[in-house]
Amino acid sequence: MRVTMRIRRFNPEKDQKPYWADYTLDQVEPNDRVLELLHRVKWEQDGTLSFRRSCAHGVCGSDGMRINGVNRLACKVLVNALDSGDHVKIQIEPMLGLHVIKDLIVDMEPFFEHYRSVMPYFVNDDPLPEDGRERLQSPANRAQFDDTTKCILCACCTTSCPSFWANGDYVGPAAIVQAHRFIYDSRDNAAAERLKVLREPDGVWRCRTIFNCTSACPREIEVTRAIAEVKAAMRRGVKHPDPE
């Protein structure tokens, strides 16, 4: 099939403002990944087209972008999931809410700053088990935060959030997901400190339960649910299925 890629281009070294550029590719297979098409454009037609990518199968989180109006990973969207027919048109633009560095590449620093602000790391200063072995955790307690351990920090959720578009100071869904992963880990001891951060005006209360994050997540994390659970933790504390 034939595919026309309509790509939002911008190189601040030479462009005054962003513009749309069209590239047509022939002999595209319906099960080609959008990332492969981007590579074909870059390799065969215009080497100046810039985008991030690495693993190419939806695990590293490099290639988040807006594809046909929705945030996706370019390596996790097949052409046939977008459209069918002899001539398919695909529109690609950078994620919104982060400053565009070049073409589809955005400045991830503010995103990681929010990530770092929620103490996204395990805290437990209690003495280690005396037998020198692992801390114990029941399967049910482990399952409680399983969903949010899947996050790959691709920023698809945060940059799909109208609250984040309006206000970049909002920590955003991804950071809250990270906080959730530790708040609900029965081994962790710093839930109260994280909740303190998230209680601030730019914390969880900016979530308006819009659900764009949940549908944008390429790892199918139940993001809005996780945010609601963090809000619940603020109201009534954290309870684990099994006492430990």
Partner 1 sequence: MATLVTTVTETLRYRGKIGQWSWVLHRVTGLGTVLFLVLHIIDTSWAAFYPDLYAEAIAEYQSPLFTLGEFALIACVVYHAFNGLRVTLLDYKPEWWAYQQRAAAIVFGATTIVLIPTFGFMLSHVADFYGEDPDLVSVGDIIETQSQFVIGFVAIIAAALILSALYGLVSRSRSGFVLPGRLEAAMWLFMRLSGVLILPLVFGHLGMMHVIQGVFDITGGGIEVVGTDIVNDSGKAVEFVGARWDMLVAGVAIWRVYDALLLALVVIHGFNGLRTVINDYALQPLINRALNWAVVFGAIALIVLGTAALLEGVDETAYDIAVDINETTASAAY
Partner 2 sequence: MQTHQYEAVIIGAGGAGLMAALYASRHVKTAVISKLYPTRSHTGTAQGGIGAALGNLEEDRPEWHAFDTVKGGDYLSDQDAALVLAEEAVSAVIELEHLGLPFDRTSEGRISQRRFGGHTSGFGGSPVRRACHAADRTGHMILQTLYQQCIKNDVMFFDEYHVIDLIRSGDTVVGVVAININDGKLHVFHSKAVLFATGGWGKVWEITSNAHTLTGDGNAITYRRGVPMQDMEFFQFHPTGIYKMGILITEGVRGEGGVLINDRGERFMERYAPSIKDLASRDVVSRAIYLELEAGRGIKGRRYVHLDVTPETVNRYLAEAGEDRRIDAEYIETRLPDILDFCRTYLGVDPVKEPMPVQPTAHYGMGGIPTDLDGRAVIDGSRTPLPGLYAAGECACVSVHGANRLGTNSLTDLIVFGRRSGKHMAEYCQGADFVPLPDNPAGEVEAELQRICTASGSRKPYEIRAEMQQIMMKHVGVFRTASGMQEALDTVRRLQEQFKTDLVIDDRGQRFNTDLLEAWELGCLLDIAEVTAASALARQESRGAHSRDDFPKRDDEKWMVHTLAYPTDDGGIRLDHNKPVDMSLAEKDERFKAKERVY
Residue with tokens 């080497």: 47
- Among positions 3, 62, 156, 229, the unique one binding partner 2 when judged by CB under 8 A: 62
Joined together, the tokens standing for residue 57 give 């199968």
Rg of the Cα atoms in the chain: 21
Start-to-end CA span in the chain (Å): 58
CA–CA separation, 84 and 69 (whole Å)? 17
CA–CA separation, 173 and 160 (whole Å)? 9
- Among positions 47, 69, 85, 132, the unique one binding partner 1 when judged by CB under 8 A: 69
Geometric angle at alpha carbon 104, from 103 and 108, rounded to 5°: 115
User: Which residues inside 152-171 make contact with partner 1, applying CB under 8 A?
Assistant: 160, 162-163, 165-168
Task: Decide if residue 26 touches partner 2 (CB under 8 A).
Answer: no
The residue (of 169 and 242) whose beta carbon lies closer to partner 1 is: 169
Cα distances (Å, whole numbers) of residue 65 to 17, 94, 162, 174, 233? 19, 5, 16, 15, 32
91 is in the binding site of which of partner 2, partner 1, none (Cβ under 5 to 8 A by kind)? none
Three-state helix/strand/coil letters over 52-82: CCCCCCCCCCCCEEEECCEEEEHHHCEHHHH
206 Cβ contact list (under 8 Å, min separation 6): 163, 167, 170, 171
The residue (of 49 and 204) whose beta carbon lies closer to partner 2 is: 49
Task: Decide if residue 133 touches partner 2 (CB under 8 A).
Answer: yes
**Interacting stretch for partner 2, rule CB under 8 A, among 91-99, 141-149, 192-200, 232-240?**
141-149
Task: Decide if residue 201 touches partner 1 (CB under 8 A).
Answer: yes
Which runs of consecutive H residues, i.e. helices, occur in the chain? 34-40, 79-82, 109-117, 139-144, 162-166, 172-183, 191-199, 212-216, 223-236
- Among positions 19, 20, 24, 48, the unique one binding partner 2 when judged by CB under 8 A: 48
- Binding-site size for partner 2 (CB under 8 A) equals 62
Task: Decide if residue 21 touches partner 1 (CB under 8 A).
Answer: no
Task: Decide if residue 12 touches partner 2 (CB under 8 A).
Answer: yes
50 is in the binding site of which of partner 1, partner 2, none (Cβ under 5 to 8 A by kind)? partner 2
What residues line the site for partner 2 (CB under 8 A)?
A: 11-14, 31, 33, 42-44, 46-48, 50-62, 76, 78, 101-103, 105, 108, 112, 116, 119-124, 128, 132-139, 142, 145-146, 149-153, 182, 185, 187-188, 220
Contacts to partner 1 by CB under 8 A: 66, 68-70, 96-97, 99, 160, 162-163, 165-168, 196, 199-201, 203, 205-206, 208-212, 214-215, 222, 224-226, 228-229, 231-232, 234-235
